Amino acid sequence: MTLKTLCVPIFSAVLATTVAGMARAGTFPDHAIKLVVPWSPGGATDVLGRILAKGLTEQLKQTVVVENKAGAGGNIGTTSFVREKPDGYSLLVATSSTNAANPHLYKRLGFDAEKDFAPVAFVANIPNVLEVPKGSKFTSVTDLIQYAKDKPRELNYGSAGVGSSQHLATSLLQHITGAQFTHVPYKGSGPAVSDLLGKRLDFMIDTGSMAQVKGGNLTALAVASTRRIPFLPDVPTFEEAGIKDMVASAWYGIVAPAGTPPEVIETLNKAVNNALKDPQTHAQLEGMGAQVVEGSNSSAEFAAFMQSEIKRYGELVRMSGAKPE
């Protein structure tokens, strides 16, 4: 067999593979996409993920299915995610907890927050809101703080886990006021809110239970934002309630596994931004108290933001007193 004879089939095979690859790249997506939510159903991350999944389904003309993988403060689902094939068909709802706080909270994280992700797009911030059960004896933040100072650690608060936005926000409140509470961590904010509704917790500083506030099942005492939020116009900020520097929010974005082709990231970025501009999707996100990103929102900008947040959360975790597990 001559070299020419040998090269022809090899060249043909390579060409066919290249063409097939180009075809796949050109038609992305051509089947369903999985959106991993590393928290249990019912919490803010889950609600936001499902709203966005519906919007992306409409934009990409392919079904986007939410898959909950909860546990270990979001680490179980996130660790599993980074092992997914980097082809754009597996996405993750990245959060300030999993992708910024957890690197400072776990000695064995299971993933590298700086290297294992291909940022796609920022989605939203959700300011934390201090909430108490319906009928609580506390009708203001000052009442609650004074009680906690008089009876340290008697009041219990819930969170989605050590290092979650709820935990860090409440740690910040303790640091500012000198009040002391008892932390009860859960495997997601959904179960914590259930216990808050059942009055097994005294309060929470949460992001995902706005509907319960609107429904009258929970009472909001203050918003951890620089200004009042449209969703709760009658609820004062902490500063208005007499507590300065109490500003805390959780952020959410979409990432793919590291190594996902740039052209796929670009397609996904465009889809996320178009979904966020869709009036229905935008209204649903605002309806859960989210402050949706506006203006420029490239994957590169989100990547830079994530890097800066890893550093910032290092200081917040140190202030909370949480020790790496």
Query: How many CA atoms, within 13 angstroms, populate the side-chain half-sphere of residue 287?
Result: 11
Provide the pLDDT for residue 10.
Answer: 43
Could you tell me the pLDDT band of residue 8, with boundaries at 50, 70 and 90? very low
Rounded to an integer, what distance in angstroms lies between the CA atom of residue 36 and that of residue 95? Answer: 12
Distances (CA, A) of 78 to 110, 187, 314: 8, 14, 19
214: buried, middle or exposed (CB in 10 Å: 19+, 13-18, 0-12)? middle
Residue with tokens 């509470």: 181
Architecture of domain 129-223 in this structure: 3-Layer(aba) Sandwich (3.40)
- Per residue in 223-265, pLDDT tens? 998 888 888 899 999 999 999 999 888 899 999 999 999 999 9
Residue 166: which residues within 8 A CB-CB, separation 6 or more? Answer: 128, 157, 158, 159, 160, 189, 192, 204, 205, 206, 207
Report CA torsion sign: 232, 234, 238, 240. positive
Question: Starting at the edge strand that comes first in sequence, how are the strands of the sheet with 204-206 ordered?
Answer: 204-206, 129-133, 218-223
Provide the pLDDT for residue 187.
Answer: 80
Q: With 80 as the cut, is the pLDDT of residue 17 above it? A: no
Cis peptide, bond prior to residue 29, ω within 30 of zero = yes
Q: With 90 as the cut, is the pLDDT of residue 204 above it? A: yes
Average pLDDT over all residues of the chain: 89
Provide the pLDDT for residue 193.
Answer: 94
Give the residues across from 122 on adjacent strands: 253
Report the candidate in 312, 165, 182, 137 with the shortest Cα–Cα distance to residue 251: 165
In the DSSP assignment, the letter for residue 73 is: G
> Cβ(320)–Cβ(176) under 8 Å?
no
Instruction: Dump the DSSP string for 217-229.
Output: SEEEEEE-SSS--
Domain boundaries for CATH 3.40.190.10 within the chain: 129-223
Residue with tokens 């800066």: 308
Rounded to an integer, what distance in angstroms lies between the CA atom of residue 11 and that of residue 14? Answer: 5
Q: Which helix (H) or strand (E) holds 131?
A: strand 129-133
Give the residues across from 68 on adjacent strands: 37
Does residue 33 come out as left (phi exceeding 0), alpha (psi in the -120 to 50 range) or beta? beta
- Counted residue by residue, the chain has a size of 325
Report the candidate in 51, 59, 22, 52 with the shortest Cα–Cα distance to residue 270: 59
Domain boundaries for CATH 3.40.190.150 within the chain: 27-126+250-320
Could you tell me the pLDDT band of residue 78, with boundaries at 50, 70 and 90? very high
- Per residue in 130-179, pLDDT tens? 999 999 999 999 999 999 999 999 999 999 888 788 899 999 999 999 99
Provide the pLDDT for residue 324.
Answer: 65
- The topology under which CATH files domain 27-126+250-320 is D-Maltodextrin-Binding Protein; domain 2 (3.40.190)
Q: With 90 as the cut, is the pLDDT of residue 15 above it? A: no
Q: With 60 as the cut, is the pLDDT of residue 2 above it? A: no
Rounded to an integer, what distance in angstroms lies between the CA atom of residue 215 and that of residue 23? Answer: 50
Could you tell me the pLDDT band of residue 71, with boundaries at 50, 70 and 90? confident
Please state, as a whole number, how many other Cβ atoms lie within 10 Å of the Cβ of residue 154: 12
Rounded to an integer, what distance in angstroms lies between the CA atom of residue 192 and that of residue 218? Answer: 13
Provide the pLDDT for residue 295.
Answer: 87
